[in-house]
Amino acid sequence: MDWDLYAKAEAIVAEIKASDEYQKALALLESMKTKAHLSAKVQAFTKAKTAYEETARFGKHHPDLPQRAEDLIRAKTVLHNEATYQEYLQAIAAINGRLADFSERITAVLADCTIADKKTCHKG
């Protein structure tokens, strides 16, 4: 194992965890857990999604599928109309953008390796 690569990965993780986006997402998630009305909406959405998925496994002709789909849409709409949840989704999207940037940087580093010539990507 290349410990230098491992150390760089750990540094990236630390950088992400220290970012404003990550801290904001954690704070918003905690807020959604502690505020009773938000917590109830998240639980209702999760329950509706689980019920829909359990029914959908039996196929589109299951007699309860239309009602489960309607319940899921309703619960999702109620949850997505919450400002705190919208902020949380935006923070997660920002984190995912940073992760994509890191992934591109790591891919570029690995692409610079001449594995075919050296049989390794270690410099030297």
Task: Tell me the CA distances in angstroms from 61 to 47, 64, 104, one per residue in order.
Answer: 21, 9, 44
| pLDDT score for 93 | 95
Q: Using alpha carbons only, what angle is made at residue 21 by residues 19 and 22, rounded to the nearest 5 degrees?
A: 70
| pLDDT score for 74 | 98
Residue by residue, pLDDT tens for the chain (124 residues) are 466 777 877 888 898 899 898 999 999 999 999 999 999 999 999 999 999 999 999 998 999 999 999 999 999 999 999 999 999 999 999 999 988 988 887 777 777 665 555 555 555 5
| pLDDT score for 120 | 58
Q: DSSP letters of 75-106?
A: HHHHHHT-HHHHHHHHHHHHHHHHHHHHHHHH
| pLDDT score for 121 | 59
Joined tokens for residue 4: 């230098």
- For each of the domains in the chain, give its residue range(s) and CATH number, in order of start: 3-118 (1.20.1500.10)
| pLDDT score for 89 | 94
| pLDDT score for 38 | 93
Q: Does the reported pTM lie above 0.85?
A: no
